A and B are shown apart, each in its own frame.
Chain A
Amino acid sequence: MAQNTYIGASTRSKEAPRHVTGRGRYADDMVLPRMLHACILRSPYGHARIGAVNAGEATQLSGVVGVIIPDDVKRRSRPFKPGRYAAGLRVPIPEYASAVDKVRYVGEPVAMVAAETRAKAEDALELIEIDYEPLSAVTDTHAAADPSAALIYEELGSNVAWQGQVSYGDVEQAFAGADRVVRENLKIHRYSSTPLEPFAIIAEHTPERLNIWCNSQAPEVVYEAVTEALGIDNVRVIVPDIGGGFGQKIHLIRKYAVLTALMAVKTGRPVKWIEDRSEHMMAGGHSCDQEFDVEMAVKSDGEVLGVIIRDTDDVGGSISTLTIHFTNKLNNLFNTYKVQHLRLEGRSVLTNKCPVVPNRGIGKPGMCFIWERMMDRIAQELGLDQIEVRRKNLIGADQFPYTTPNGNIHGSGDYQELLNRAIKNIDYDEVRKRQAQSRDTNRLIGISVVIGVEPGGRNAARDMAIFPESKQMPGAGGVEGATVKLEKNGSVAFTLGSPSCGQGHETTAAQIIADVLGVAPERISITGTFDSALSPWGVSSSNSGNNFHLYDVGAVHGAATRLREKVLTLAAHLLQTDKASLTIENGIVGRVPRSGSAEDDSITFAQLGKIAYGNQALLPDGFEPGLEQTYYHSHPHANPLMIPDAHGRVRAQYTFSSAAHAAVVEVDTETGRVRVLRYVIVSDNGTLINPSVVDGQIYGSAAHGISVALGEGFVYGADGQLLTLTLLDYGKSTTLETPHVEIEHYPIPDPFTTLGQKAAGEGAAIPSPAAIAGAVEDALTPFGVKVRHLPLSPERVWRLIHESKT
């Protein structure tokens, strides 16, 4: 292979030209002949029993073609099978696409209407009468866990739906040998990633198959849900451009795919359903409120010997994602630290709130928050410097590849150096001077330096670590495919096995193919977006788990490498030379050294394409015609610990990017408002394929984590009503609140991946809440304020200041 020309360069975006001209193709942009428009009637109650449903008048309304009520769902569809995050359920509980007997959160789908226009469908929703018997809503995990609380699922006998733990090392021994135990109660609130495009589904039932167009990040989830619920095997899932995902479009979207498909089957016409913003806010999925009681056993020099975490997850009103936040803490259970003894106890508590789903880092921001808040607390209690306590506990640069006590293997890294550079770039000593000067004003300055990892490339067997008794393995390792084809005109087309939500996959894949094949990216194009009938897909073919860098890059590289071999075989035959004497440059295969004229010594991709698809007489004996190669990639270093061992050790993910974040904030002590003055990141994402694409991922995920810390989030009333139904009420940061994040790349290639790459996606959303929390606490040192809970909205900060005065 020639040396890299395009890998490592910010080559021109492949996706951007269609987006800037308004020619992106999203699900809502598509129109099918005779297509109906569907709307959903949702629960106005947090908790209620569903009584009689009367849809007679709605059905009679002119323009209405179909109505689905809970009875239809129960009669005409099957409940979802419990997935990997419901494996811990004590008794099986059927969960249908809509509520059937009870509603368990405001916004839970209850009925669907399809009409000739969306406006007609909305009119008809108002005519459906449902007798609800309201029940007490439970919105707080402490109240929900009380034996006297109203039961959200009577079958379970308790709202504590799951309890379990993972334990590594000898925690009791570690605590026995400690000089001190540092304790803290920490909380992270409910938020979302609020993709700008809400859920969108089109379903069409033809005599041949059920076609679903949807903006699912994980088409496998929709594919399996529709097949299982409706008993239709021949399902085709097509994913056009997706208007942002971040994990929101993985789980709950399947409910709507089933309902829309059921409507298409029932009416015999194509049906489009587009979620609106407030529907997404109340029912599209939230991250869960998490509460952590943490104990760290430390020596007086700051070394952490052992850790006990008791984690309570508020999983809302569904049993389908009970352990999803707990499980994801396995990915960064030890963050960047070398402590050997840790126990994480978890319980998932049902409440009358929206079900919980992944978004940007799921579970990992909480785990990083625990570690980084505790590092600060340990330093405070022991009278040590906060950064020095971190240094004392970091995994050393000479310890890589490093295996954490729970089995994750960090391939490469230099955590001390990330801290060094962040401290330098933020001008740490200078900020401390300014901070001293600010102490006489009502605008206090604070600084914090934190560190975290960004796990990437999911191992499908990960969940078995917490369900050792589980008989059914949900899958293991990872599989993802890609196809690369040299067309008969010499251009190159490729197909990826997974959808993209805007992470530049077309651009990045084209760069890899360009370097492997020896052709300019301009001549390479993607065949289209995900199509389950055409894309080579496997268990890792989802825009989640930070999978692209490991699985798709491996698959694209593998397919291009195979194609290169085939191109060289054909060219060598035609040029009557050895393959070894050939090079490829700019789409021309040539002999080195030259032996005669250009025509004797070289052949173009276009000439090869024409021959490969059209001229059997010129093909070598035994050569399969065509120039197209598909390659399915699994991580070649997936073992050891792909399957959990007897100690529950398993590799949750396969690569570990890392970054140090340094934040400087200014807190207005009169209003509680926090402004981020500077935000610096030093990031190790391994080999960068397209630095501008990676920058974009870091900027975006940092902005989200900062916005989360500063106040964006969901608020429920005690009656289970969601009070934050719009983006303004929810508090999403704009250009004004979002700082200009400064990035330094410090890449250390991963020794085990195709190009040395590591993940680059949600990473900066993981340490940023901790960075802001630390900086605000630092600013409020004169008040003795301790920051334990997020978000740090102006009201919360103001209260912290005023409570400290009383």
Chain B
Amino acid sequence: MKLPVNLSVNGQAYEEEAEPRTLLVHFLRERLGLTGTHVGCVVGECGACSVMVDGALVKSCLMLAVQAHGCEVTTVEGLAQRGKLHPIQEAFVHNFAMQCGFCTPGFLMASHALLERTPNPTEEQIRQDLSSNLCMCTGYVQIVEAVKEAASRLGEWRKTHT
């Protein structure tokens, strides 16, 4: 049995269907080909599959695809605009805030959610918020630095993009 999954992902409308047991992360990766969202644990511990659903940060391994019916989803592929890196992405590149890159899309989405809510976070707030995600490579230092830099880049970016 399959159920309809009509949703918007990164601004594009899709009319699809999925088995009720299909996880949102597998739907995004395998049905829509959006492989930037990664599977690290499938039980909500690592955050590599983090996406935004209707403005909220969601671990897409903890949500069924059918639950996203009628929702607006943003994945890492939706951050860059017209081929230009989003300020958070640019800050991650500039600070070497990744090594293997597997956790990176999740950290970008978590940072995005944090900076939407708290435009100028302290290091403590950044560390508190990003504790939802695991990185095995970096020891987090350059990620935290990147989020600090992203906050200031976003300040400038918002002035020119609003």
Contact = CB atoms under 8 A, between A and B. Distances in A.
A193 B136 contact: yes
A29 B43 CA distance: 20
A692 B99 CA distance: 11
Contacts, number: 178
A28 B26 CA distance: 11
Contacts of B100: 195-197, 241-245, 501-502
B93 to A, nearest CB: 4
B105 A699 contact: no
A596 to B, nearest CB: 43
A194 interface: yes
Interface residues of B, number: 58
Interface in A296-354: none
Nearest to A693: B96
Contacts of A735: 126-128, 130-131, 133, 140, 143-144
Contact of A241 (B101, B105, B130, B144): B101
B12 to A, nearest CB: 15
A431 B22 CA distance: 55
B39 interface: yes
A21 B85 contact: yes
B92 interface: yes
B134 interface: yes
Nearest to A246: B136
Contacts of A703: 138-140
Given A17-B85, A242-B100, A732-B134, A196 B93 contact: no
B42 interface: yes
B38 interface: yes
Contact of B99 (A12, A119, A502): A502
B160 to A, nearest CB: 20
A24 B101 contact: yes
A480 interface: no
B74 to A, nearest CB: 11
A196 B48 CA distance: 8
Interface string B85-107: 10001001111111111111100
A12 B93 contact: yes
A695 interface: yes
Interface stretch (A171-179, A257-265, A361-369, A736-744): A736-744
B94 to A, nearest CB: 8
B46 interface: yes
B101 A699 contact: no
B66 interface: no
A727 interface: yes
B35 A21 contact: no
Contact of B139 (A503, A692, A741): A741
A19 B98 contact: yes
A504 B96 contact: yes
A718 interface: no
Interface stretch (B1-9, B75-83, B151-159): B75-83
B136 A696 contact: no
Contact of A20 (B98, B141, B142): B98
A736 B102 contact: no
A26 interface: yes
Interface string B53-67: 000000000000000
Given A22-B34, A699-B139, A196 B98 contact: no
Interface string A703-727: 1100000000000000000000011
Contacts of B121: none
B141 A26 contact: no
Contact of B42 (A277, A696, A704): A277
Contacts of B105: 19-20, 22
A276 interface: yes
A20 B77 contact: no
A20 B99 contact: no
B108 interface: yes
B37 A696 contact: no
7 contacts: A20-B105, A21-B79, A119-B22, A243-B101, A727-B41, A736-B131, A738-B140
Given A700-B99, A727-B41, A741-B141, 10 more contacts: A19-B98, A20-B104, A21-B89, A22-B36, A196-B136, A245-B100, A274-B39, A501-B100, A703-B139, A704-B139
